[in-house]
């Protein structure tokens, strides 16, 4: 995603009402997000779908990396279960099938 150009990419939300397709086209063609404002404060961002998907995937990778780091810390601290212990715990705590 390209860097925001303040003079072109910050627009009042009223522009969305008058020219929504133009704002969407701007985001898609420039690869930059369009920030919509109300009373001078940012309230929404319009992104091209590809850019949104890249951001979402990056966030998921970050969450996975954090979970892996947490798991590594648990192993280092000795907070582990055997397969049998984990299975018994899961069976005890799982919701009953309806």
90 lies in some domain: no
pTM (two decimals): 0.60
Residue 93 lies in a domain: no
Over range 19-29, report the average pLDDT. Answer: 94
Tens digits of residue pLDDT in 31-85: 999 999 999 999 999 999 999 999 999 999 998 899 999 999 999 999 998 899 9
d(CA 9, CA 95): 49
The reported pLDDT for the residue numbered 94 is 86
Domain CATH for 27: 3.40.1620.10
Question: Which pLDDT does position 76 carry in this prediction?
Answer: 94
What is the pLDDT averaged over residues 75-98? 86
42, 58: one domain = no
Give me the pLDDT at residue 97, please.
55
Tokens of 42: 């940012």
Backbone angles phi, psi at 71, to 5 degrees: -65, -40
Q: 72 is in which domain, residue-wise?
A: 49-79
């Amino acid at each position: 995603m390209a860097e925001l150009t303040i003079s072109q990419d910050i627009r009042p939300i009223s522009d969305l009402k008058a020219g929504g397709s133009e704002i969407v086209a701007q985001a898609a063609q420039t690869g930059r997000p369009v920030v919509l404002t109300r009373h001078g404060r940012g309230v929404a961002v319009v992104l091209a779908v590809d850019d949104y998907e890249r951001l979402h995937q990056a966030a998921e990778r970050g969450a996975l990396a954090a979970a892996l780091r947490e798991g590594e810390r648990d192993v280092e601290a000795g907070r582990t279960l055997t397969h049998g212990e984990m299975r018994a715990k899961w069976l005890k705590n799982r919701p009953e099938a309806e």
